[in-house]
Amino acid sequence: MVNLLERILGRSAKGSSATAKQRLQLVLVTDRSNLSPEKLQQMKDEIIGVISKYVNISPDKVAINVEQRERDNWLVADIPLLRELMQQEQGDVDDA
Amino acid sequence: MDARVITVTSGKGGVGKTTTTANLAAAFAMLGRQVCCIDADIGLRNLDLILGLESRIVYDIVDVVEGRCKPRQALIRHKYLPELYLIPAAQTRDKTSVSPTQMAQVVRELRPDFHFILIDSPAGIERGFRNAIAPADEVLIVTNPEVSAVRDADRIVGLLEADTRRLPMRLVINRVKADMVRRGEMLSADDIIDILSISLIGIIPDDENVLIAGNKGTPDPNSKAGQAFRNIARRLMGEEVPFVELEDSSNILSKIRRIFGG
């Protein structure tokens, strides 16, 4: 019902204000942290390099982003470890 | 009396700092409070013009700082609102004519005589802004629902957060067009608060009467914008004034939509 009315009344969820909000949230990450998208990518690559020395990870599954929580910036990393390696390690423990 | 000192600032120019200062001052005066406005925009003074006091200037803030007169001698009393006073900026000098310490000193001398002292900050984040926030107890940040104004407001919030005094700051969203917000073509107040994460003190509708009032040099308390500014004044005085949703009262469709929860 609401959707129908919205369509009739011409309100669109895809107005330019949604774009404005999204663009602002992105640019403010850079403004607040002084971390440009290029520098963030460079840091990601280095972090992936360091972690790969110790555990098996798939670089394309790694997500490292700056997130805004209230007025604070958080560097949030999601780094899934590859299953094969976990099983291998399990086997190593059993052998010992 | 020991005045509350409120600085009105924004980062970006042209968002309505002077309008906000003038209208809040008029609202406080009409609510019976003694109020003094200080124009801190040295070199580009305008608060005198918006308040209709441009022909009465004898001394300005630089005259006070440089000792040519006492702060009280520089006060210009408003024509129709006897509770309202102005200390104008100097027009032929620049921001470096006054230091933050000197601003704080001038305001300290005025505090006993007023309930509120409102400081109209210049645009920017340099010396003029530093001068304007030096005497402040609290800060109002004015922004518009435009990407550039919101970004600049965020910069101001960041600078004030880095200030050791931890001044309370609240947001004024000026020039909101209700119909554009409804069409999804303008950032809503909720969007802006989401982005900036600071508390809201008022939403001012876009209102041609603001320009007309400026033409005449008399803030218009009965216009839609004037009423919204008075609500801010009342909130600053501790009253609980609900935020009314902006709408065109003529637009019956918007009412139907709200009934259906849209």
Q: What is the ipTM of this complex?
A: 0.85
pLDDT at A94 over 70: no
Q: Which CA distances in Å does A56 have to A63, A88, B8?
A: 15, 11, 55
Share of chain B above pLDDT 90, in %: 92
State whether A71 and B186 contact (CB < 8 Å).
no
Residue B29 has pLDDT above 70, yes or no: yes
Q: Residue B1, exposed/middle/buried by CB under 10 A (0-12, 13-18, 19+)?
A: exposed
Alpha-carbon gap, residue B143 to B156, rounded angstroms: 11
Q: Is the pLDDT of residue B143 over 90?
A: yes
* Interchain CB contact of A17 with B (< 8 Å): yes
Residue B193 pLDDT > 70, yes or no? Answer: yes
Look at the block and give the residue holding tokens 């006054």. B98
Using an 8 Å Cβ cutoff, are A71 and B157 in contact?
A: yes
The pLDDT value recorded for residue B262 is 44
pLDDT above 60 (res A35): yes
Return all residues near B92 (Cβ < 8 A) that are at least 6 apart.
Answer: B43
**Cβ contact B104:B135 at 8 Å:** yes
The distance from CA A26 to its chain's CA centroid, rounded to whole angstroms, is 12
For chain A, the straight-line distance linking the first and the last C-alpha, in angstroms and rounded, comes to: 66
pLDDT at B216: 96
pLDDT above 50 (res A96): no
Report the predicted TM-score, pTM, of the whole model to 2 decimal places.
0.84
Burial class (CB in 10 A: 0-12, 13-18, 19+), A46: exposed
Chain A residues touching B162 at Cβ < 8 A:
none
Rounded CA separation B88/B100 (Å):
17
- Assess contact for B17 and B212: CB atoms under 8 A: no
Count of CA atoms in the C-beta half-sphere (13 A) of B150: 29
Percentage of residues in chain B having pLDDT higher than 70: 93
A43 or B258, which is more confident: A43
Q: With CB atoms and an 8 Å threshold, state whether B257 touches A11.
A: yes
Per-residue 3-state assignment (H helix, E strand, C coil) for B178-209: HHHHHCCCCCCHHHHHHHHCCEEEEEEECCHH
At A83, give phi and psi (nearest 5°).
Answer: -65, -45
pLDDT averaged over chain A? 79
Residue A37 pLDDT: 83
The amino acid occupying position B7 is T
Strand partners, B8: B120, B140
Residues listed for chain A: 96
Give me chain B's average pLDDT, please. Answer: 93
Q: Which of A1, A25, A28, A73 to mutate to test the interface with B (most CBs of B within 10 A)?
A: A28
Question: What confidence category does residue B249 fall into, taking pLDDT thresholds of 50, 70 and 90?
Answer: very low
- Judged on CB neighbours under 10 Å (0-12, 13-18, 19+), B222 is exposed
Query: How far is it, in rounded angstroms, from Cα B9 to Cα B198?
Result: 14
pLDDT beyond 90 at B63: yes
Residue B104 has pLDDT above 70, yes or no: yes
What local confidence, expressed as pLDDT, does residue A72 receive? 82
pLDDT at A5: 53
Q: Which residue has the tokens 């139907």?
A: B256
User: Quick one: pLDDT at residue B78?
Assistant: 97
> What is the 8-class DSSP label of residue B96?
G
Record the tokens describing residue A85, joined without a space: 């390696």
| Partners of residue A13 in chain B, C-beta under 8 Å | 184
Report A:58-77 residues touching B (Cβ under 8 A): 68, 70-71
CA distance A65 to chain B (A): 17
Q: Which of B147, B183, B256 sits opposite A23 (nearest CB)?
A: B147
Q: Is the Cβ–Cβ distance between B94 and B127 less than 8 Å? A: no
Which residues from chain A sit within 8 angstroms of residue B169, using beta carbons?
none
Q: Rounded CA gap, B32 and B81, in Å?
A: 10
Q: Is A28 on the interface with B (CB under 8 A)?
A: yes
pLDDT category, B250, cuts 50, 70, 90?
very low
- CA–CA dist B46, B21 (Å, integer): 11
Arithmetic mean of pLDDT, B128-136: 97
The 10 Å Cβ neighbour count of residue B204 is: 26
